[in-house]
Amino acid sequence: MKPRGSKDNRPVNLELSTIKFPITALASISHRVTGVLLFVSSVLLVWALDASLASEESFNQLGHLLSSTSAKAALWVFLVIFSYHALAGIRHLIMDLGVGEDFKGGALGARILFGAAAVAAIAWGIVLW
C-alpha cells in the first residue's frame, strides 16, 4: 500500500518471467548459476578422483565408465559450464580494471563472453568426440 500523496509508480508484484533482462544481467546471473553448478559437480569430481586412486581395478572401471556416451555428454556439460564460468570470471577481472564498466562496454563484453563460450562448447565437443 502506497503512502498518501506518494508518486511511486513501481509495480507491487513483480512477475520475473515477464521482465526482459539486459544482456549484462543475463551474463551476471548465468555466471552465478554456473558457479553453483561447479560447486555441486565437485562432489562427482572428488568421487572420480577417489575411484581412480583406490586401485588399478577401480581405475580401469572408471575409465570404462567415462568412455560411455552418456559420461562423455556429462563431461561435456561440465567442461562447458567450467569454461563459461572461467571466461565470465576473466570478464569480471577486466571490468575491475576499469574496462567496459559502462552499459555499452558491459553489453559488448557480455556478447563477447557468450560468443567465446559457444566457441569453447564446440571445441570441447570436438575434443571429446
CATH of the domain at 79: 1.20.1300.10
User: Does any domain span residue 8?
Assistant: no
User: Does any domain span residue 58?
Assistant: yes
* Residue appearing with cell numbers 567442461: 79
Measured CA to CA, the distance from residue 62 to residue 64 in angstroms comes to: 5
The amino acid that residue 70 corresponds to is S
The pLDDT of residue 19 = 84
Question: Which range marks the domain in which residue 62 is found?
Answer: 22-128
What are the mean pLDDT values of the chain's consecutive 10-residue runs (129 residues total)? 66 76 96 98 95 96 95 96 98 95 96 98 96
User: Does any domain span residue 6?
Assistant: no
User: Does any domain span residue 73?
Assistant: yes
Yes or no: say if 63 and 51 are a contact pair by the CB < 8 Å rule: no
The pLDDT of residue 106 = 96
User: Does any domain span residue 1?
Assistant: no
Domain count for the chain, please give it: 1
Torsion of CA 106, 84, 82, 61, to 10 degrees: 180
User: Does any domain span residue 3?
Assistant: no
User: Does any domain span residue 110?
Assistant: yes
User: Does any domain span residue 15?
Assistant: no
| DSSP result, the chain | -PPTT------SS--GGG----HHHHHHHHHHHHHHHHHHHHHHHHHHHHHHHH-HHHHHHHHHHHTSHHHHHHHHHHHHHHHHHHHHHHHHHHHHTTTT-SHHHHHHHHHHHHHHHHHHHHHHHHHH-
